[in-house]
Amino acid sequence: MPELPEVETVRRTLAPAVGARIEAVWDSGKPLHMQRRPPRAKLRALVGATIVAIRRHGKYLLVDTDRPQSLLVHLGMTGRFCIVDAATPRANHTHLVLGLDARELRFVDARRFGQLDVVERARERLHPALAVLGPDALVDGVDATALVTLAKRRKTTLKAFVLDQSVLAGVGNIYASEALWRAKLRPTKRSNKLTVAAAALLAAAIRETLENALENGGTTLSDFVAADGVAGENADYLWVYARAGQPCLECKTLIKRAVHQGRATYYCPTCQTP
């Protein structure tokens, strides 16, 4: 599932679309996330608009036009948002095509957990998907004191806390495990026990984890590729995620896998104090 570094990688590789005029819009009409159909009339009304910027908040992309509207895109589990030559054959599961000049922006999503919508930029923070998001984990970050205040209020596990998009937007399952290993904190530790010192380590660990993953072009475990079709290399640099039974790269203890709230968590029982 793409997380912040993967979505940011896609955003950067889509940069060549900025400045292009949307000449045509096609959508598959198939329902995506939560069985919702993308708003066909609003999508088609984007014809004639020029793309002026592509932004990201957490795992959401916003394609800004020279009109008051932006296209909102979430990659879900298997979504790909790419820029290709218009002559490239359409892949199966293509759900949106924005015809530019000789190129097309295409949204392809086999499992259809992705989201497409058109938002009014002036009121985008009221959109249900964006309204719940906290500060962006990479661009905005959060300091240790703010993190402790939020952690005390939540009374959950640290793993669930780091995954909470209203705390920090963009951190998903892979990087939550990675960041907690870096901060040497056990995922099952209660969030209201987080000290300011530990919160400072955690805030730094989240940032380093995301920055390193971004430098490596994101993590490709099965599906993820950047908008130009290149797979990320960060899977070769993971400390704990998907490494159950393998030795910790720091202390050689075997990495453990546990399931919390239906999601796999990986940790080192020696390095990460309960």
Residues of the chain by 3-state class (helix, strand, coil), percent to 5: 30, 25, 45
Give the end-to-end CA distance of the chain in Å, rounded to a whole number.
28
- Does residue 274 touch Zn ion according to CB under 5 A? no
Q: Is 71 helix (H, G, I), strand (E, B) or coil?
A: strand
Q: Tokens 């400390």 map to which residue?
A: 239
Stretch that binds Zn ion, among 1-9, 30-38, 187-195, 246-254 (CB under 5 A): 246-254
With a CB cutoff of 8 Å and minimum separation 6, the contacts of 13 are 83, 226, 227, 228, 230
55-94 positions binding Zn ion, by CB under 5 A: none
Q: Which residues is 21 bridged to in the sheet? A: 50
Stretch that binds Zn ion, among 140-148, 206-214, 235-243, 249-257 (CB under 5 A): 249-257
Q: Rank residues 27 and 178 by Cβ distance to Zn ion and give the closer one.
A: 178
Please, what is the minimum distance in Å from the beta carbon of residue 267 to Zn ion?
A: 9
Catalytic residues, by residue number, are 2-3, 59, 263
**Which parts of 76-228 fold into alpha helices (H)?**
128-131, 144-154, 158-163, 173-182, 196-215
Q: Rank residues 166 and 270 by Cβ distance to Zn ion and give the closer one.
A: 270
Rounded Cα–Cα distance for residues 69 and 270 (Å) = 51
- Does residue 270 touch Zn ion according to CB under 5 A? yes
Residue 56 belongs to what H/E stretch? strand 51-57
- Does residue 251 touch Zn ion according to CB under 5 A? yes
Q: Is 70 helix (H, G, I), strand (E, B) or coil?
A: strand
Q: How many residues in the shown chain lie near Zn ion by CB under 5 A?
A: 7
Q: Rank residues 145 and 273 by Cβ distance to Zn ion and give the closer one.
A: 273
Q: Could you say which of 19, 48, 250, 274 contacts Zn ion (CB under 5 A)?
A: 250
Q: Rank residues 230 and 251 by Cβ distance to Zn ion and give the closer one.
A: 251
Rounded Cα–Cα distance for residues 40 and 50 (Å) = 18
Stretch that binds Zn ion, among 44-52, 120-128, 129-137, 242-250 (CB under 5 A): 242-250
Please, what is the minimum distance in Å from the beta carbon of residue 133 to Zn ion?
A: 33
Q: Rank residues 88 and 273 by Cβ distance to Zn ion and give the closer one.
A: 273
Please, what is the minimum distance in Å from the beta carbon of residue 249 to Zn ion?
A: 8
- Does residue 248 touch Zn ion according to CB under 5 A? yes
Rounded Cα–Cα distance for residues 96 and 196 (Å) = 46
Binding site for Zn ion (CB under 5 A): 248, 250-251, 253, 268, 270-271
